[in-house]
Amino acid sequence: MLRRTVIFGILVAACSEKAGDDALSDAEPAGASSAVSKSPRVDHGELDTETPDDSPKLAATVVAATIYKLPNKESRRLGYLRVGSVVSRDSQPVKGEGCEEDWYRIYPMGHVCMEEATTDLDKPLVRAANTPPDLAKPLPYAYGFVRATAPQYLRVPTADEQLKHEFKLAEHLKTFQEKFDEWQTVDIGANDIPLDRRGVARRGLRHRETYKTSSQMNLNEIFGGGKDDSQLPWWLEGGRKIPNISGFAVPDYAVFADRVRRHTGLSFVDAFKAVHKGIERRFGVTVDLRLVPTTKVKPDTGSAWHGVELTEKFPFPFAFVIKKDTKLWKLIKGKDEARGAEAVPHRSIVPLSGKARVKAGRRFYQTLRNKTRWLQGSDLGVVVKPQRWPESALKGEKWIDISLRQQTVVLYEGKRPWYATLVSTGRDRLGDPEKSLATPQGEFRLKSKHIAAAMDSEENTKVIGGARTGRRKTWSAEAQATIDRLKKAEKAGTRLSEDDRRRLLNIKKGRHPEYGVTMRRGAGDFELRDVPWIQYFASGYAIHGAYWHDVFGIPRSHGCVNLSPIDARIAFMWTDPPVPNGWHGVNIGPDMGMGTLVSVHE
């Protein structure tokens, strides 16, 4: 749906997871704790200074340049800069330890070792990496999913090099041409929704009529490039003019640096078309400046879903309709029976009276405007005010309320709800997070924030909070049941179908029975690059945007809290502390105040 529906009567329409970065690898930021006892404060001490006018600059020359509190690699890591990021610095270097080059103090705080940066802003690498994430959009980069294993080229490959390094390329290109429309077209996405200056979706606008949408962009633009797809990046003309910074070390003469596997989510900052000896292909430029042929990538524009701003006049409680076949019900008086009535649009908003009833073993909620109509609880994400207010609410501070049972999140300012939406938490919902794919319950403070970072298939990263230790390997209940069934059948000598034989082969290779994704932790076969708007609140658990699914309101993650890209950006920009200008990630600690409270409960 392109518009949101709010139900006041029966149906009354109304206006609408290795960051590739080891920059934040501290196991626990000093002073951070999941226990909440003090109100947030911002006190940067001697580091809390304004940027001097006309101050000189420095730029990061590695994928993630670490920012240290002091000019010493043993001091606390405050955050990091992404390659090409430019920030203000002092005019003169300072003495320090652990760095073979100079140290420079940057603003508003911290120090950078010049092994990972440069003061020469005309350096080819800095100029090549001059496309920062677009912080004004829900998706800060262009995205796509790999359909077939592909090399990540370091320079524009010749036709012979492509045929040599890509398995059955001629056959692939023929299939691509036949399925072009299916593989390369996109729907309305996250960046197509008109937003106001706060990032909140503007109501009452049909975005196809007011904005140039992804479906109106040419393919080069969809992959992060310009309208003219024949424009080769200057740093690739006549060969590669910059070093390989991907972290996958190869000789200078190498054609590519590693391959990217099927199912990987990629982010792009540019795209262009190249032709050689009859092979015409488009290449997407990844954030680490490698080239991936887009014939092997399906573009992805993320979910257009978003929540709703809550004003004083907004009816409370209310519910989001999470299922497509939802209908209103009549409860039969004197009988344990409910009869279906009118249909309700998917993801519409329904004000509730606050009354609930159980009929035929099912829970129903009464609608506010028509007391004869009820909604089934399993079709809803219900938003209610908490029975117990956390300390942050009593102090008038910002805090985040996450309900695992209802799959909703509400952003509060004190006791005033400001914004509400649907989420997807750990797929085991109320299970034990140490033994299942569930999100931990409790009160936490944000520990770190990252504009975008890579996650593997289990939402592990190399940033602060990283991999969850001590957890057993686990898959969804369906996948585990398939594994158990096929192992039992093989042991009994049962004849298997062709599909079951394929599933069993995947299992023996340590892969998911259906998708072929590796089952070995950390192997990285299923990687999601530049997951946007990540906010860690506990070790291995974060609130973040998800560009790979659109089932918000249904548990499905490995424990993290998935939001739509629009909602994730709203939450990221709203929480404290903000990420300083030019930084890509921040490690929250006493230097910049305590992070916003996150309350996770049943």
CA distance 194 to 20: 32
CA distance 353 to 389: 22
Which token pair is 459?
């939402």
Closest CA to 557 of 471, 436, 469, 418: 436
Q: Which fold has domain 317-383?
A: SH3 type barrels. (2.30.30)
Cβ(458)–Cβ(584) below 8 Å: no
Sheet containing 398-403, strands listed edge to edge, beginning at the edge strand earlier in sequence: 308-309, 416-422, 408-413, 398-403, 597-601, 442-445
Task: Judge whether 45-128 and 317-383 match in fold.
Answer: yes
pLDDT of residue 465: 29
Cβ(245)–Cβ(289) below 8 Å: yes
Q: What average pLDDT score do residues 382-395 get?
A: 94
**Between 179 and 513, residue with greater pLDDT:** 179
**Beta-carbon neighbour count of residue 594 at 10 Å?**
24
Cβ neighbors of 175 (< 8 A, separation 6 or more) are none
Stated as kind and residue range, the H or E segment containing 532 is strand 527-538
CA distance 308 to 401: 15
Q: What average pLDDT score do residues 479-496 get?
A: 85
Concatenating the DSSP letter of every residue in 351-405 gives EEEEEEEEETTEEEEEESS-TT-EEEGGGEEEE---SS--HHHHTT-EEEEEETT
* pLDDT of 483 higher than 80: yes
Least trusted range by pLDDT, from 119-128, 267-276, 492-501, 535-544: 492-501
pLDDT of residue 590: 85
CA distance 392 to 525: 41
CA distance 467 to 25: 11
Stated as kind and residue range, the H or E segment containing 413 is strand 408-413
* pLDDT of 213 higher than 70: no
* pLDDT of 182 higher than 90: no
The residue written with tokens 């800095």 in the block is 126
CA distance 85 to 436: 39
Closest CA to 84 of 53, 120, 109: 120
CA distance 516 to 149: 13
CA distance 482 to 500: 9
Least trusted range by pLDDT, from 76-80, 167-171, 213-217, 575-579: 213-217
Q: What average pLDDT score do residues 159-188 get?
A: 89
Closest CA to 269 of 247, 249, 291, 250: 291
CA distance 567 to 518: 31
**Beta-carbon neighbour count of residue 429 at 10 Å?**
16
Cis peptide before 580 (omega within 30 of 0): no
Cβ(5)–Cβ(14) below 8 Å: yes
pLDDT of residue 56: 96
pLDDT of residue 73: 95
* pLDDT of 1 higher than 70: no
- What CATH class has 45-128? mainly beta
β-strands 265-276, 142-146 pairing: antiparallel
CA distance 372 to 143: 46
Report the chain's mean pLDDT, rounded to a whole number.
Answer: 84
Q: What average pLDDT score do residues 307-320 get?
A: 92
β-strands 597-601, 398-403 pairing: parallel
* pLDDT of 460 higher than 80: no
Closest CA to 57 of 80, 85, 83: 85
* pLDDT of 425 higher than 80: yes
The residue written with tokens 């207010």 in the block is 389
pLDDT band at 214 (very low <50, low <70, confident <90, very high): low
pLDDT band at 514 (very low <50, low <70, confident <90, very high): low
Which DSSP state fits 243?
-
Concatenating the DSSP letter of every residue in 200-258 gives PBPTT--HHHHS--GGGS-HHHHTT--S-TT---GGGTTS--S---SSS---TT-SEEE
Which DSSP state fits 542?
E
* pLDDT of 407 higher than 50: yes
Least trusted range by pLDDT, from 166-175, 203-212, 225-234, 350-359: 203-212
Mapped onto helix, strand or coil, the DSSP state of residue 62 is coil
Helices (H), 104-158: 124-128
Least trusted range by pLDDT, from 155-169, 280-294, 456-470: 456-470
Q: Could you read off the pLDDT of 317-358 as tens digits, one per residue?
A: 999 999 999 999 999 988 999 898 999 999 999 999 999 999
Q: Could you read off the pLDDT of 391-402 as tens digits, one per residue?
A: 999 999 999 999
CA distance 598 to 444: 5
Residue ranges covered by each domain of the chain: 45-128, 142-300, 317-383, 430-588
* pLDDT of 46 higher than 90: no
Burial of 334 by CB count in 10 Å (0-12 exposed, 13-18 middle, 19+ buried)? exposed
* pLDDT of 11 higher than 60: no
pLDDT of residue 439: 94
* pLDDT of 212 higher than 90: no
CA distance 324 to 181: 27
C-alpha distances (whole Å) from 365 to each of 143, 168, 380, 544 are: 39, 57, 9, 30
Determine what percent of the chain is predicted with pLDDT higher than 90. 62
pLDDT of residue 215: 60
Q: Could you read off the pLDDT of 65-106 as tens digits, one per residue?
A: 999 999 999 999 999 999 999 999 999 999 999 999 999 999
